[in-house]
Amino acid sequence: MVQKSKKPPSAAKIEAPVAPKRRGRPRAYEPEVALGKALDLFRRDGFAATSLDDLSAATGMNRPSLYGAFGDKRELYIKSYQRYRDDARAAMVDIFRADAPLRERLERIYRIALDIYLSGESGPRGCFTVMTAASEAVSDPGIRTMVVEGLTELDKAFGICFRHAKERGELPEGADPASLAHLASATIHTIAIRARARVPRKELEAIVKGALDVLCAAK
């Protein structure tokens, strides 16, 4: 289970054209898509309620293959969570880095967040961190570390946003970027929770709008 070259699926097309000429029987699954399916399940049902049979059915891999590819259930869960965070980060990083007015950046961030939280065939899926990972965090130090990392990463990204906006004069002198960032994160969290309770998108958008009205004019 060392899995060397896995990160660059785009660069892979350059370095390893298509067939790396592996030695034995070829895999009948693509690890990336299988992990995506596993992620969907874990995200919907949580760790305990997701059985290996469910995962096996969803990924199309039988249990031994699953085990061989990703390790045991906990490892698969962690890899799923890692994948979720990578995806979420990838979807937001450009916006966080973009050079746009504060309000516009925030609006785009929340639009992406809503897309992520509300998607899903069998109901809105919410946020992996908030809905299932935080629950596991009490008893599993490894997962806890990941959760804390995720939370602080979001805080920091928002913090940079607000600090930047303050430097540009978009915020009053007295505004505290750190506090505003925490409130922005909190809005992400409250939206994730409400989405999971099937609160309609319209309402969530209204909550976001109200929050932005406060945060973009604060103090």
What residues make contact with DNA under the rule CB under 7 A? Answer: 19, 21-29, 50-54, 61-65, 67-69, 72-74
> What residues have CB less than 8 Å from 176, skipping those under 6 apart?
219
As measured in angstroms, the least distance from the Cβ of 161 to a copy of itself is 15
What is the nearest approach in angstroms of a copy of itself to the Cβ of residue 164? 18
126 binding partner (options a copy of itself, DNA, none; Cβ < 5 to 8 Å by kind): a copy of itself
Q: Which stretch binds a copy of itself (CB under 8 A): 31-39, 40-48, 99-107, 109-117?
A: 40-48
Q: What angle do CA 171, 177, 181 make, to 5 degrees?
A: 115
**Binding-site size, a copy of itself (CB under 8 A):** 50
Q: Smallest distance, Å, CB 26 to a copy of itself? A: 36
CA distance 80 to 103: 32
What angle do the packed helices 52-59 and 63-70 form, to 10 degrees?
Answer: 90
Query: Rounded to an integer, what distance in angstroms lies between the CA atom of residue 177 and that of residue 206?
Result: 23
Q: Is 170 in the site for a copy of itself (CB under 8 A)?
A: no
